[in-house]
Chains A and B, each alone.
Chain A
Amino acid sequence: MDKFKVDQELIAKIDRILESYDYDDNSVVNILLEIQSHIPENYIPEEVAKYVGIELGIPTSKVYDVITFFSAINDKPKGRHVVQLCKSSVCRLNKYQTIRDVLEEELKIKMGETTKDGQFTLQYSTCFGACDISPAFRIDDKVYGNLTKGKIKEIINTYRGL
């Protein structure tokens, strides 16, 4: 795997984000979400957590608490696009397994894994309120429901840039 650089560009982005929140330590949850969206591996590395803690005056242990508590903030690297398949009660009634099988086939990985090129992570999630179009999955911020095998292929391809 390539080594990624946390370079001046990323620090500048982080500083801009902190600035836009007025360095308000109360906004650390939203700040971390926004920083995470600028990191290709979709997570908060340790050094970034320390830096944010120092800039906001929050002990690193508390920043770590926030990172590990919330499901949307990741403490370990993921793919560029995170595909989240709902496995909660409604989607189970509506047979999420059919969607899972198509996704696993299409991406050639199993649930919980990341593609070798670092593009996609496939994982389960809890209910995200798309029960009326269940079974459903999310890719990054977008929600997809009322699916067919063909539609799923199409959706994945748009993220592949095809």
Chain B
Amino acid sequence: MKNCTITIDNKEVTVPEGTSILEAAKKVSINIPTLCNHPDQTVKANCRICLVETKPGKLETACSTKVRDGMTINTVSKLVRDTQRGVLELILANHPQDCLKCIRNGKCELQKLCEMFHISKSNLEDEIDALEKDESNPSIVRDHSKCIKCNRCIEVCQEVQGVSILSHAHRSTKYCITPAFEKKLVNTLCVFCGQCTSVCPVGALYEKDDTEKVWNALYNDNLHVIVQIAPAVRVSIGEEFGAKPGTKVTGKVVAALRRLGFDKVFDTDFTADLTIMEEGHELLDRINRGGTLPMITSCSPGWINYIEGFYPQLLDHLSSCKSPQQMFGALSKTYYAKKLDLDPSQIFTVSIMPCTAKKYEAERKEMSSYGYRDVDAVLTTRELARMIKSASIDFLNIEEENFDEPFGITTGAGVIFGVTGGVMEAALRTVYEVVTEHELENLDFMDVRGLEGIKEATVDLNGTPIKVAVAHGLSNAKKILNQINEGKSDYTFIEVMCCPGGCIGGGGQPIGSTMKVREERIKGIYDVDKVMPLRKSHENPAVKELYEEFLGQPLGKISHKLLHTTYSPRSEKIDFDYLQWNNEIALTEE
């Protein structure tokens, strides 16, 4: 590996050939400002903020320019600083300046740059694209009057998720990021995974805010408001208060939720264990009775939206199990209501999720029992953090508390649902013991862990080798689905998570979910699992009690009614019946 010696701002540094100026500068403690750059994405160089002077009178972008031996770089010359300010002023002239009212106030990359550049009034006339906000769907809001056209959302939608709902279109000042034909997201095959909201540097894409809905329920004395927390939240929400990613803050979240006024605080991990019972038996049933294989997990709503939209012919492969969130909701309006002698209409069930697609899932028609919605409101990790802050709770210092029973008793298998490979591992821990009637020596299935896009493992079930696969990120799911479509799939059971890294990398997680941060959150989850007294779903005593008291058997009649669901295609129809002559004929300038 050849090395290059260059000079940056009068400091000499030697770096390997092929290093970008941006990376080389970091080595001498200079963080050249960037905007469109993202550590997990390709270099775009379209914001033009990271300019440096590589030769007198020549500016180049630091992110895209590789060092050349002998280069003399100046990052603070008059030309560089004047031009950078000029670029920033141009962005601002096209950007609404309502920071105080913006959801990203304090967390906005553009704001940070303005602070750094000490921006004051420029002589430019503001011209902001007066475009309608897209609030058409339950999960994501698109406010493209704030878009700075960095293209990060396009890359995540087209390359990482392979869904390609968002693309750039038009030219010049009409250039924008939009779905085809400027449709609202709800009229497209968008899966609402929210990855776009996670990478957006400003407030152009963000989660639908349901906090007011939840506050109103909490104010209402006639409602019994209960809340469930997803596994991923407990190792991530601390980041919103300054903790490192992966820090376990379960007890603090429980305490904070009680301060906010929730009547009972429960753990989604409980119904994760329940899901394993139902899904594990469903898998065995299919294997024994020659049902549709491979069977694919169904707890990720972004993934469900994807397969319903793009591979409707393969819907039979999905497990019919609802997600843990929805199973919890269904139980809350039936089993739990009966236990407390309450009418289901008096129960308001909230869930805290790392996921924007869960908001869409909660509104699906199928997700209700006896006329009552399973889940009444879904808050993302970010929204809960806002609620906690607005209640002046000193989160990091609050005394920890425990979940309520019975839905607070959980196992390690339930908590690992939050990471890619977790559902698979939890299922294997149960299925193995149920089938072989032997205890597992080692509960850690390392083959299905980690950030590789598609992971495989073979498990020996009483002499029969079962091949399983785990995929995360929809472009990886696509590869697996294509195999199934072509009849080339030799897997028996497949776990698919819509978001890279699994739920800990969800679209509703704290802003700043890079691959590095995901790794730390994943470690946090496995650390929680390691020290739990119970680590297998079928050993959860509360789950056993639930079956004895209420459900009967896994896949029984009551399970079927409350805990299982159906799917339907989401295809866009091509309407060739007629074309309408619009009176809005193309009007050109003048």
Residues of A that sit less than 8 Å from B by CB:
1-7, 11, 41, 43, 45-47, 49-51, 54, 59-65, 68-69, 74, 76-78, 111-114, 121, 123-124
Contacts and interface: CB of A to CB of B under 8 A. Distances in A.
Given A68-B170, A124-B588, A124-B590, A77 B581 contact: yes
Given A78-B585, A112-B587, 14 more contacts: A1-B581, A2-B581, A3-B578, A3-B579, A6-B579, A47-B576, A50-B574, A59-B164, A61-B164, A61-B165, A61-B178, A76-B582, A113-B585, A124-B590
Contacts of A45: 579
A63 B180 contact: yes
Interface majority SS (helix, strand, loop, mixed), chain A:
mixed
Interface string B562-579: 000000000010111011
Contacts, number: 95
A59 B309 CA distance: 13
Given A47-B574, A51-B574, A68-B170, A112 B590 contact: yes
Contacts of B84: none
B218 to A, nearest CB: 40
B180 A60 contact: yes
Contacts of B572: 50
B579 A5 contact: yes
A71 to B, nearest CB: 8
B181 to A, nearest CB: 5
Nearest to B168: A65
Nearest to B582: A77
Contacts of A41: 581
Interface in B541-590: 572, 574-576, 578-590
29 contacts: A1-B583, A2-B581, A4-B579, A5-B578, A7-B576, A45-B579, A47-B575, A50-B180, A50-B574, A54-B574, A61-B167, A61-B169, A61-B179, A61-B180, A62-B164, A64-B180, A64-B181, A65-B167, A68-B174, A77-B581, A77-B582, A77-B585, A78-B586, A111-B588, A111-B590, A113-B587, A114-B586, A123-B588, A124-B588
Contacts of B585: 76-78, 113-114, 121
Contact of B580 (A3, A43, A76): A3
Contacts of A43: 586
B189 to A, nearest CB: 9
B171 interface: yes
Contacts of B166: 61
A76 B169 contact: no
Interface of B: 158, 164-171, 174, 178-181, 572, 574-576, 578-590
Given A4-B578, A47-B579, A62 B589 contact: no
Interface majority SS (helix, strand, loop, mixed), chain B:
loop
Contacts of A124: 588-590
B203 to A, nearest CB: 22
Contacts of A2: 581
Contact of A112 (B178, B578, B579, B588): B588
B581 A4 contact: yes
A82 B436 CA distance: 76
A78 B166 CA distance: 27
Contact of A123 (B164, B178, B575, B586): B586
Contacts of A63: 180
A76 B169 CA distance: 15
B581 A3 contact: yes
Contact of A49 (B180, B575, B578): B180
Nearest to B581: A1
A83 to B, nearest CB: 11
B171 to A, nearest CB: 6
B210 to A, nearest CB: 28
B578 A6 contact: yes
Contact of B171 (A69, A74, A78): A69
A68 B581 CA distance: 19
A74 B584 CA distance: 13
A64 B169 contact: yes
Nearest to A122: B588
A105 to B, nearest CB: 17
Contact of A69 (B169, B574, B575, B580): B169
Ranked 3 nearest A-B pairs via Cβ? A59-B164, A61-B167, A60-B180
Contacts of B178: 61, 64
B586 A62 contact: no
Contacts of B171: 68-69
A50 B574 CA distance: 7
A69 B171 CA distance: 6
A51 B586 CA distance: 23
B180 A112 contact: no
A49 B181 CA distance: 10
Contacts of A77: 581-582, 585-586
A65 B574 CA distance: 19
Contacts of A6: 576, 578-579
B188 to A, nearest CB: 8
Nearest to A111: B590
A114 B583 CA distance: 10
Contacts of A51: 574
